[in-house]
Amino acid sequence: MKITFYGAARAVTGSQHLLEVAGRRILLDCGLSQGRRNDSERLNREYGYEPASIDAVILSHAHIDHSGKLPGLVKNGFKGIIFSTGATRDLAAIMLPDSAHIQQSDAEYLNKKRAKENLPPIEPLYDLEDALSAIEKFVSIPYGLSFPIFPGITLRFLEAGHILGSAQVELTVEEKGKKRTLLFTGDLGRFDRPILRNPDLSSRPDFLITESTYGGRNHDPQEKSLLDLEHVIKRTVKRGGKIVIPAFSVGRTQEVLYFLNLLRIAGRLPDIPVFVDSPLSFNATEVFKLHPEVYDKELRDLLYAGHSPFQFANLHFVQNVSESKAINTMKEPVIIISASGMCENGRIRHHLKNNIADPRSTVVLVGFMAEHTLGRKIGQRRETVNIFGEPYALNAEVVDIDGFSAHADSDALMRFFHAVGENVKQVAVVHGEEKSAEALAALIGRDSDAEVVIPAPGDSVYINGTI
C-alpha cells in the first residue's frame, strides 16, 4: 500500500493524496491550491499523475481546496466514481459550477486589463460543462455505512465536524491475507461547537493521515470571540465605517450568521444591515436547511425555539452583480460577509478594493489565511496590498478573531489522536504549514510510538514501510 502526497503537503491548500492499493489508484480529495498566483496557477493545471489512471476519488468535504480540481480531473480524462456523503454531493453540485463561473468571470475581468497591456489572455482551468460532468460522477454514501468500493477495499465515512457533510475517510483493505485500516481526517472540526456534531472517535486505524492547520496553536473561547465581534462592530459603526468579513460560502458564512444572530437575540447587535454577498452562500445556506440530520443539539434547540440562525431581521442575501455594487455606494455602516474566505477570488476582492483604504472601516478575519494569500497579507497589516494587480493602501482596521475557525486546534487534534490512535503505527501529518505540522508531529511523537512523517509534495509513504 503506497500513498503519494500531491497537495496540502507542508501547505494548507490543494488537498490531494494518491493511494495505490490492491491494484487500484484512489485519490483522496482533489482540491485547488491557493497562494502565490503563479505558483497556484501552475499547481492547479498540473497533476503529477495521469487523471485517466485514477479509478476513484474519495472526497472528504466540499470546500474548494479539497474539491475544486475535480472538473479539471474530468476534463483531463478521469472516468471513475467520486464518493462522498450526501450533503457533500449537494454542496459540490452548487460549488463546482460556482467555481467555474468565478474563474471565467475573473479571467474576463483580468483579460480586459491584459488586452490594454498587449498581454495574451488567460484561460479558466475549466468551464461549466466540466463541472457538471464531475457532478454526474458522484455516488453518495451515508455516514457509518461500510461500503465495498472495490474487491478487498471497504469505505466508511465518519463525521468530521468541520462543515456540512464533512467526513473522515476510513478505508479497510484486505490484501495478501492481511487487513489494514487507513484513516484520513480530511479537515477535522472542533468539539462542542454550534451547528454540527462533534468529530466521530470510533475509528481505530493502523495508518493515519491527519490535518495540522492549527498544530501548536489553540483557539480563543467562544464567548471571547463573541465579545470581540460585538466590540469591533460597535466601534466601527460609531465611526461610520463598514465591517467587511471574508468568509467561505460553506461553513464559515453560516457560522458567522449564527453568532450574529446570538448577538441580535441578546440585544447586543447594532441595528444595521447585514449583507451576505455571494450567490453561493445563499444556495449553500439552503442546502444547510435540507440536512438537519447532521445538526447538533444546540442548533436543534434554537430552531425549536423559533430562531433560525440563517434568517433574521436586516439580513439580506445578495444575488446579482448590480446589488453587490450598490452595497459599496451606501454611506451608512453595514456588515458585508463575502467569499472567498482567503480573499483570493470572488466578490470579496471588490468589497476590499472599495473599503480597505477607509480608516473608518474594519476587515474582520474569521478563519485561517494560507501563506501568500491576500487574506494573509491583510492579516500581516501590510501598508499596501495588491487587489486585481493594483496597490491599495491598507488604512482600515484589521481584526483577527480565530475563535470562529472551523478547524480543530492543537488540543482538539491531540484529543482526537488519543481517542483513535491506540493501534496507529504510522502517521502522515498534512494540511498545515511546516511550523504547524512540525508542532503536531512532535506532540504525536511524544505521546506514541508511531512513526511520524511530514511529507513534502511528491513524497510517497509505504504503509508498514518507509518514506
Q: Are 235 and 227 in contact (CB under 8 A)?
A: no
Helix (H/G/I), strand (E/B), else coil: 453: strand
Query: How do 274-277 and 315-318 pair as beta strands?
Result: parallel
CA 442, CA 447: separation in Å to the nearest integer? Answer: 9
Give 3-state DSSP helix, strand, coil % of the chain, rounded to 5: 35, 25, 40
Q: Are 32 and 367 in contact (CB under 8 A)?
A: no
Model pLDDT for residues 352-388, shown as the tens digit of each residue = 999 999 999 999 999 888 888 999 999 999 999 999 8
Model pLDDT for residues 196-228, shown as the tens digit of each residue = 899 999 999 999 999 999 999 999 888 899 999
Per the structure block, which three cell numbers stand in for 444? 504525536
CA atoms within 13 A on the CB side of 221: 3
The pLDDT score that the predictor gives to residue 306 is 66
Residue whose entry in the numeric block shows the C-alpha cell 468568509: 247
The pLDDT score that the predictor gives to residue 307 is 65
CA 389, CA 369: separation in Å to the nearest integer? Answer: 19
Per the structure block, which three cell numbers stand in for 195? 451547528
Q: Are 314 and 336 in contact (CB under 8 A)?
A: no
DSSP count for the chain of H helices, then E strands:
14, 22
Q: Are 335 and 275 in contact (CB under 8 A)?
A: yes
Model pLDDT for residues 275-294, shown as the tens digit of each residue = 999 777 777 777 877 787 78
Given a cut of 60, whether residue 466 has pLDDT beyond it is no
Backbone angles phi, psi at 67, to 5 degrees: -120, -15
Q: Quick one: which of 403, 413, 324 has its CA closest to 364?
A: 403
Under DSSP, the state recorded for 51 is: G
List strand residue ranges (DSSP E) for 185-285, in order: 207-211, 243-246, 274-277
The pLDDT score that the predictor gives to residue 69 is 97
Query: How do 16-21 and 24-28 pair as beta strands?
Result: antiparallel
Ordered domains of the chain (ranges, CATH): 2-217+406-462 (3.60.15.10), 222-404 (3.40.50.10890)
Which DSSP helix (H) or strand (E) runs through 288? Answer: helix 279-289
Residues 6+ away with beta carbon under 8 Å from 265: 307
